[in-house]
Amino acid sequence: MAIPLAYNLRNLTVRKTTTIMTALGIALTVSVLVAVLALVNGLRTAFETAANPLNILVMRKGANAELTGGLARSVFEDLKSKPGIARAADGHPLASLELVTVINLPSVQNPEGTNVTVRGLTEVGLELREHVKIAEGRWFRAGRREVVVGKSVAKRFPDAQIGRKLRFGKGEWDVVGAMDAGQSATNSEIFCDLNQMSGDFNRFDGLSSALVRVPDAVSVDALINSINDDQRLNATARTEQQYMDSQTNSAAPIQYLGVFVSIIMAVGSSFAAMNTMYAAVARRAKEVGTLRVLGFSRGSILTSFFFESLLLSLLGGVLGCLLVLPLNNVTTGLMTFSTFSEIAFNFRVGPEAMAIGVAFALVMGAIGGLFPARMAAKKEILVALRDI
């Protein structure tokens, strides 16, 4: 027969201070883990929502980042006419040649200057990015020195406001619009006209990359293989999604650091939980004896104390998640080695991260509760009752 759970609950509430202190220790450990998961999660979302599964990114063979993509204009002309590329209603191929570079603008936090990605593209490039919408103002016009800024850029750079001018390349550019790209990393970019930009940066032939669209999911691999095998192009193709996934790796060092920290903290918290449970067992020796006299088996005593420890850690886990919750949707920035500019994104405390946090807490509770529970169950009735 099992000992009612209410018995454990009451025990936890009777010794409030001890319970809360132990649970808080576990909560802090959990919150470190969940915060790191939320950071990585947010970064992943920013990159994943920027990618369309039907888009393929083409760069020069050997290049791993758009910044060093180095795709030549002549190669693009050949690429554009490849069979397998989707066409718009009016017949032009959905292929966009782009130039990506980094500029330095004074920001709110850093008047010395923060790096921002600038992308030069043509109208096709906008067609290929359905997730990007104009939020204020209008798109830039071809052949003009006009830029449209992402909403995170607008937020962080005082100069990046509609009606103002940005200085980069060979002169000033008018800010004519702000774009909203949902949760995606595109919010941290500035868009402008490809040909204007290539002139400003003396990049007439060696541009960065090309984005092409395939008509359906089946033809993705076929086009990638066909581009990779084409000796004439000397280019590498991958899906936009693969490229964005590899960008998420830039958070790997933080992820390692966070997991390392939380595991060591968990070791400490497990010992603390063990301590609390041993004390609980020691104080309740008489109770344990009484329960045994009433007919509860050793097994049910073991389960009862084990459950109590799990309850304690569950409380800690939930507390830990609550502690991190205010972080949800807080914006943070991270530089990446492939963009050399800062990507703004939001912490995302999602259900998975919280589930992992609670599970992590339960593991701590299980480790901390097992030995004390065994000790309680092993007590001889007479010895236990005699105990003061």
Partner 1 sequence: MFRYVPLMLKNALRNRRRSTLTILSIAASLCLLGVMFALYRGLFLAPPKPGQELRLVARHKVSMTQPLPVSYEARIRQLPGVREAMVWQWFGGVYKDARDRRNFFARFCIEPDKLFRVRPELEMPDEQKRAFERLRTGAVASSDLAERMGWKIGERIFLTGDIYPVNPELTLVGIFKDPNTNETLFFSYFYLRELLGAGPRGDMVGTFQIQAENAEAVPRLAKAIDTMFENSTAPTKTETEQAFALQFVSFLGNIKLYLMIICAAVTFTILLVSANTMAMSVRERVREIGILKTLGYTPGAILFMILGEAGVIALMGGALGLLLASGMTAALRQGPTFVGAMRTLSITPDVGALSLALAFLIGVGSSLIPAWNAARTSILEALRDSG
Q: Say whether 212 sits in a helix, a strand or coil.
A: strand
Is position 14 an interface residue for partner 1 (rule: CB under 8 A)?
no
CA 351 to the chain's CA centroid: 13
CB of 300 to partner 1, least distance (A): 24
Q: What angle do CA 77, 79, 82 make, to 5 degrees?
A: 120
CB of 128 to partner 1, least distance (A): 25
Cα 176 from Cα 160, distance rounded (Å)? 10
Quick one: 126 or 269, whose CB is closer to partner 1? Answer: 269
Phi, psi of 182 (to 5 degrees): 65, -125
Length reported for the chain = 388
The binding track of 150-179 with respect to partner 1, each residue x by CB under 8 A or -, is --------------------x---------
**Structure token pair of residue 193:** 């006209």
Task: Please report, as residue ranges, which positions from 315 to 334 form the binding site for partner 1 (by CB under 8 A).
Answer: 332-334
* Interface region with partner 1, contact rule CB under 8 A, candidates 66-74, 150-158, 210-218, 289-297: 66-74
Could you tell me which of 342, 345, 331, 335 has the C-alpha nearest to residue 116? 342
* Continuous segment of H or E residues that includes residue 82: none
* Interface region with partner 1, contact rule CB under 8 A, candidates 25-33, 138-146, 154-162, 207-215: 25-33
Cα 98 from Cα 69, distance rounded (Å)? 10
Q: In this structure, what DSSP letter does residue 203 have?
A: -
Please pick, from the candidates 9, 88, 108, 267, the single residue that binds partner 1 as defined by CB under 8 A.
267
**Structure token pair of residue 171:** 């002169």
Could you tell me which of 330, 342, 340, 337 has the C-alpha nearest to residue 157? 342
CA 208 to the chain's CA centroid: 26
Please pick, from the candidates 86, 254, 259, 363, the single residue that binds partner 1 as defined by CB under 8 A.
254
CB of 33 to partner 1, least distance (A): 11
Quick one: 75 or 128, whose CB is closer to partner 1? Answer: 75
Whether 351 contacts 38, CB under 8 Å: no
Cβ atoms within 10 Å, residue 256: 11
Q: Where are the alpha helices (DSSP H) in the chain?
A: 5-14, 16-48, 73-80, 123-127, 151-156, 194-200, 219-229, 240-248, 252-283, 285-293, 298-324, 351-378, 381-386
Quick one: 9 or 267, whose CB is closer to partner 1? Answer: 267
Quick one: 177 or 316, whose CB is closer to partner 1? Answer: 316
Please pick, from the candidates 197, 336, 353, 357, the single residue that binds partner 1 as defined by CB under 8 A.
336
* Interface region with partner 1, contact rule CB under 8 A, candidates 181-189, 213-221, 246-254, 349-357: 246-254
Task: Please report, as residue ranges, which positions from 86 to 105 form the binding site for partner 1 (by CB under 8 A).
Answer: 101-104
Quick one: 3 or 103, whose CB is closer to partner 1? Answer: 103
CB of 218 to partner 1, least distance (A): 28
* Continuous segment of H or E residues that includes residue 210: strand 209-213
Cα 175 from Cα 81, distance rounded (Å)? 34
CB of 89 to partner 1, least distance (A): 37
Quick one: 97 or 103, whose CB is closer to partner 1? Answer: 103
Quick one: 186 or 336, whose CB is closer to partner 1? Answer: 336
- Integer CA distances (angstroms), 353 to 31, 33, 42, 229, 334, in order: 10, 8, 11, 41, 20
* Interface region with partner 1, contact rule CB under 8 A, candidates 138-146, 191-199, 267-275, 294-302: 267-275
Cβ atoms within 10 Å, residue 229: 8
Residues forming contacts to partner 1 in the complex (CB under 8 A) are 17-18, 21-22, 24-25, 28-29, 31-32, 60, 62-64, 67-68, 70, 101-104, 113, 115, 170, 202, 206, 250, 253-254, 257, 261, 264-265, 267-269, 271-272, 274-276, 278-279, 332-337, 340-341, 388
